[in-house]
């Protein structure tokens, strides 16, 4: 029986992506099967995040729990990867000497060797170097599950915002060669992928080398990706305002496959704080980007990241952020209390906003953002949305799980008679996502899974929309 690996991931989409790569690599090298049950695992891996202190502390409480498993099963291999590993390195062993592998975001491809060495030498192995160029060359072919896929096109960040550890833990910006990315996506499309999300810590800083020695930016890459047969939808995440070039903005006019949704972190609506954070742009420059995008795509949905309680944040700074959120009408966004990170320039500033006040401000800000996104959802009721159907709705899946104990009932729940979708069609509650990232549940034929359909929105709830099948993917509503 093949051995099993359990991977726990903290943090961003890049970490989720890296974890899926770790699973692919270990399957390839040691035939390790991914398990969702840590008690069944022979290898336990933690992919960590150090962007905020809380995320970092979670690492050690998780390791504490795993220590007990290792006490019962001494052969268990425990590994720590990601940004905490990159930042702390050997220091992790001081708090948790039972950890066998420590590897950074740039050395996860070396896991098989580290794993073998740890077993052979019976000694913890550490590799947190930054050999970026190798990483992408050592990845096995991605496993495709369904019609959506993430493709990492660049790594790291060279922006050095004063509060952020990422440039230190993931290294400077490094882009994958243009031809490699296009070839990978063509391969995914050939295996049924219809929607790709191009990933990078600063994805719009992409500058990939082409085979003739030129450099391609994100706009050019997306032109090529959109021309690949089968690719019908393109997303990218996450971006920096400084890199919203003219060519990238113009892409929204030229690439219909590019979604009308942009996640563009701003952090604060105060110009004084933007400057102190070294974001290197003003609120007016951000406004101008949004204005130009909305000239091309009037309904483009904007989302962002916000930090509250950055050193020196006054009531007026906070009010400026709240006003900016209302002015841009941001949709679902991410927001955080400022967390001082060792080694960053902001760590030298006085962390002078009391925690209570930070939390109060965060609650107000999140309330506004939720109100706005609820309003946007409500306004979508009655509209027809194009969605990529990704599978059964969560409710339907739950019913199926329950009814798995009762075969008669399973038949009744799974396949109601299809109405209006052809004689003998088998219908279920299906789920998919709109361009602005809302989950839509609707009743439809199983055959629709993995295709784009038009759905009329009939109701808005806090975490999802309800819809009715409107037309298949060949019927345009534009």
Tell me the window of 128-136, 155-163, 326-334, 426-434 that interacts with ligand F3S (CB under 6 A).
155-163
Site string for ligand SAM, 303-342 (x = CB under 6 A): --x-x----------------------------x-xx-x-
Question: Which of the listed partners (ligand SAM, ligand F3S, none) does 233 bind, with a CB threshold of 5 to 8 Å by partner kind?
Answer: none
Which partner, ligand F3S, ligand SAM, none, binds residue 438 by CB below 5 to 8 Å per kind? Answer: none
Q: Report the C-alpha gap between 217 and 229 in whole angstroms.
A: 21
Residue 391 and residue 81: Cα distance in Å, rounded? Answer: 31
Cα torsion 204, 205, 207, 208 to 10°: value is -60
Shortest distance, CB of residue 165 to ligand F3S, whole angstroms? 8
Determine if residue 173 is left, alpha or beta; phi over 0 gives left, psi from -120 to 50 gives alpha, anything else beta.
beta
Per-residue string for binding with ligand SAM, 234-263, x by CB under 6 A? Answer: ----x-x-----------------------
Measured from the CB atom, the residue of 160 and 470 that comes closer to ligand F3S is: 160
C-alpha distance from residue 240 to each of 15, 243, 319, 354 (Å): 19, 6, 23, 29
Per CB under 6 A, the list member of 6, 17, 66, 163 interacting with ligand SAM is 163
Residue 422 DSSP code: -
Distance separating alpha carbons of residues 477 and 186, to the nearest angstrom:
27
- CA–centroid distance for 213 within its chain: 31
Provide the minimum distance between the beta carbon of 377 and ligand F3S in the complex, in angstroms, as a whole number: 28
The residue from 79, 265, 311, 467 that contacts ligand SAM (CB under 6 A) is: 265
CB of 345 to ligand SAM, least distance (A): 11
Residues in region 76-105 near ligand F3S by CB under 6 A: none
Residue 431: Cβ within 10 Å count? 23
Binding residues for ligand F3S restricted to 199-238, rule: CB under 6 A: 201-202
334 binds ligand F3S (CB under 6 A): no
Nearest-5° Cα angle at 38, 37 to 41: 100
Q: Is 194 in the site for ligand SAM (CB under 6 A)?
A: no
By CB under 6 A, how many residues form the interface with ligand SAM? 19
DSSP for 125-176, please give it.
EEE----HHHHHHTPPPPPP-SSEEEEE-EE------TT--HHHHT-S-EEP
Work out whether 161 is an interface residue with ligand F3S (CB under 6 A).
Answer: yes
- How many other C-beta atoms can be found within 10 angstroms of the C-beta atom of residue 236? 25
Q: Which is nearer to ligand F3S, 202 or 399 (CB)?
A: 202
Beta strand segments in 49-93, E:
77-81
Is 147 near ligand F3S (CB under 6 A)?
Answer: no
In the bound state with ligand F3S, the residue whose beta carbon lies nearer, of 159 and 358, is 159
Q: Show the tokens assigned to 62.
A: 């998780």
What does 160 interact with, of ligand F3S, ligand SAM, none (CB < 5 to 8 A by kind)?
Answer: ligand F3S
Q: Answer yes or no whether residue 240 interacts with ligand F3S by CB under 6 A.
A: yes
Longest CA–CA span in the chain (Å) reads 70
- Helix, strand, coil percent content, the chain, rounded in steps of 5: 40, 25, 35
Give the integer Cα–Cα distance in Å for 327 and 397.
Answer: 40
Report the nearest approach of ligand F3S to the CB of residue 307 (Å). 9
Stretch that binds ligand SAM, among 74-82, 92-100, 161-169, 244-252 (CB under 6 A): 161-169
CA distance 228 to 125: 42
Give the one entry of ligand SAM, ligand F3S, none that residue 167 binds, where binding means its C-beta sits below a cut-off of 5 to 8 angstroms depending on kind.
ligand F3S
Question: Could you list the residues that contact ligand F3S (CB under 6 A)?
Answer: 157, 159-161, 164, 166-167, 201-202, 240
Question: Could you list the residues that contact ligand SAM (CB under 6 A)?
Answer: 12, 51-52, 157, 163-164, 166, 201-202, 238, 240, 265, 267, 305, 307, 336, 338-339, 341
């Amino acid at each position: 029986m093949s051995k099993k690996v359990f991977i726990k991931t903290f943090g961003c989409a890049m970490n989720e992506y890296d974890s899926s790569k770790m699973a692919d690599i270990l399957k390839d090298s040691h035939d390790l099967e991914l398990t969702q049950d840590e008690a069944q695992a022979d290898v336990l891996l933690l992919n960590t995040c150090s962007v905020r202190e809380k995320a970092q502390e979670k690492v050690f409480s998780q390791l504490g729990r795993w220590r007990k498993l290792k006490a019962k099963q001494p052969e268990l291999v425990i590994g720590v990867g990601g940004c905490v590993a990159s930042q702390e390195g050997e220091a992790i062993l001081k708090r948790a000497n039972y950890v066998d592998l420590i590897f950074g975001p740039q050395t996860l491809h070396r896991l098989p060797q580290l794993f073998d060495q740890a077993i052979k030498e019976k000694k913890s192995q550490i590799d947190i170097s930054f050999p970026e160029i190798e990483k992408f060359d050592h990845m096995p072919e991605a496993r495709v599950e369904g019609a959506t896929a993430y493709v990492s096109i660049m790594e790291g960040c060279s922006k050095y915002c004063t509060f952020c550890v990422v440039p230190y833990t993931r290294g400077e910006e490094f882009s994958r060669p243009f031809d490699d990315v296009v070839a990978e996506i063509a391969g995914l499309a050939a295996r049924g992928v219809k929607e790709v999300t191009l990933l990078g810590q600063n994805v719009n800083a992409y500058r990939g080398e082409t085979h003739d020695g030129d450099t391609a930016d994100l706009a050019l890459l997306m032109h090529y990706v959109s021309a690949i047969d089968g690719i019908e939808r393109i997303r990218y995440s996450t971006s920096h305002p400084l890199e919203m070039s003219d060519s990238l903005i113009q892409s929204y006019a030229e690439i219909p496959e590019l979604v009308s949704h942009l996640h563009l972190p701003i952090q604060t609506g105060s110009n004084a704080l933007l400057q102190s954070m070294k974001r290197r742009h003003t609120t007016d420059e951000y406004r101008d980007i949004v204005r130009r995008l909305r000239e091309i795509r009037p309904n483009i949905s904007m989302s962002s990241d916000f930090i509250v309680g950055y050193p020196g944040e006054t009531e007026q700074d906070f009010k400026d952020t709240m006003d900016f959120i209302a002015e841009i009408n941001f949709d679902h966004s991410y927001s955080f209390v400022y967390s001082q990170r060792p080694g960053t320039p902001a760590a030298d500033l006085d962390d002078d906003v009391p925690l209570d006040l930070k939390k109060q401000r965060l609650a107000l800000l999140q309330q506004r953002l939720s109100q706005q996104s609820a309003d946007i959802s409500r306004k979508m009721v009655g509209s027809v949305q194009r969605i990529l159907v990704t599978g059964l709705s969560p409710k339907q899946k739950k019913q199926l799980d329950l009814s798995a104990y009762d075969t008669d009932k399973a038949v009744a729940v799974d396949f109601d008679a299809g109405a209006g979708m052809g004689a003998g069609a088998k219908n279920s509650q299906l789920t998919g996502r709109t361009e602005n990232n809302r989950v839509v549940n609707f009743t439809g034929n199983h055959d629709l899974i993995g295709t784009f359909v038009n759905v009329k929105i009939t109701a808005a709830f806090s975490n999802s929309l309800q819809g009715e099948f409107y037309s298949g993917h060949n019927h345009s509503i534009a």
